[in-house]
Amino acid sequence: MVENLTLRVQTDAGGSGGRPDRGELSRRVFIFGAAAAASGAVFFGLRRSTVKPALPMPGGRGKRVITVTRFASDGEPVGQTTGPRIVHTDEEWRRRLSPDAYRVLRLADTEPPFSGALLHENRRGVFRCAGCELDVFSSVTKFDSRTGWPSFWEAIAEENINELPDGTLMEVRTAVSCRVCDSHLGHVFTDGPKPTGLRYCINSLALKFLAA
């Protein structure tokens, strides 16, 4: 049995010059590719599983008193105010918001691209949180990102927003929410224009526009 096995190996090797045939190469490439894909899926799955979705913070967590900057309709600051966070029950939010706005603001959903009423809003003014009317973005920093969502290269004031890791998709993103009522606004990416290089990709449903 050993002799037969030896002869068979020698014959196969001699017939192909010691190289695997194309079928064998294809099989190896397929196995390697499948293994790499599976490893990548496991890696990103584990990475995602370590980062929780950036849902609105429950009322009993986080700072109870916060300081934010208020702005006039022309985008000029009018001063800072300090007060408690706005906290409503889920039932209250459902009563205050439309079903679509509720899904975006309170469940961190995303509106379909090119569907928002404020996508092409180019007048001078400020964009406020639809949940509590805190000023969050200015028309001065709005630009056309051609992504289908209102985009800004800077928030109106750092202290008016929260930025948190968001693990709802394969790639971990940075979610943006309102500092006062903790409503979800959208996400921020690092592929924006100068001078910041940032792109705040915000849902129209999460905003209210106040013209100057």
pLDDT per residue over 39-90, tens digit each?
444 333 434 444 556 666 555 566 789 999 999 999 999 999 999 999 999 9
Residue intervals in the chain for CATH 2.170.150.20? 65-211
Instruction: Specify the pLDDT at position 62.
Output: 64
Instruction: Specify the pLDDT at position 171.
Output: 81
Instruction: Specify the pLDDT at position 169.
Output: 75
Instruction: Specify the pLDDT at position 20.
Output: 52
Is 90 exceeded by the pLDDT of residue 202?
yes
Is 90 exceeded by the pLDDT of residue 6?
no
Is 90 exceeded by the pLDDT of residue 38?
no
81-87 contacts at long range (C-beta below 8 A, 24 or more positions apart)? 85/59, 85/180, 85/181, 85/182, 86/131, 86/132, 86/180, 86/181, 87/59, 87/181
Instruction: Specify the pLDDT at position 29.
Output: 43
The confidence band for 11, taking pLDDT boundaries of 50, 70 and 90, is very low
CA distance to 4, 19, 29, 32, 82, per residue, from 25 (Å)? 26, 9, 6, 10, 68
Nearest to 75 by CA among 150, 142, 155, 156: 156
Domain 65-211, CATH among 3.40.30.10, 3.40.50.2000, 2.170.150.20, 3.20.20.70: 2.170.150.20
Tell me: the pLDDT tens digits for 103-141? 999 999 999 999 999 999 999 999 999 999 999 999 999
- In this prediction the pTM is 0.74
SS3 assignment, position 42: helix
Residues forming the active site: 201
Tell me: the pLDDT tens digits for 173-193? 999 999 999 999 999 999 999
Residue whose entry in the numeric block shows the structure tokens 């092409």 = 120
Tell me: the pLDDT tens digits for 144-161? 999 999 999 999 999 999
Instruction: Specify the pLDDT at position 124.
Output: 98
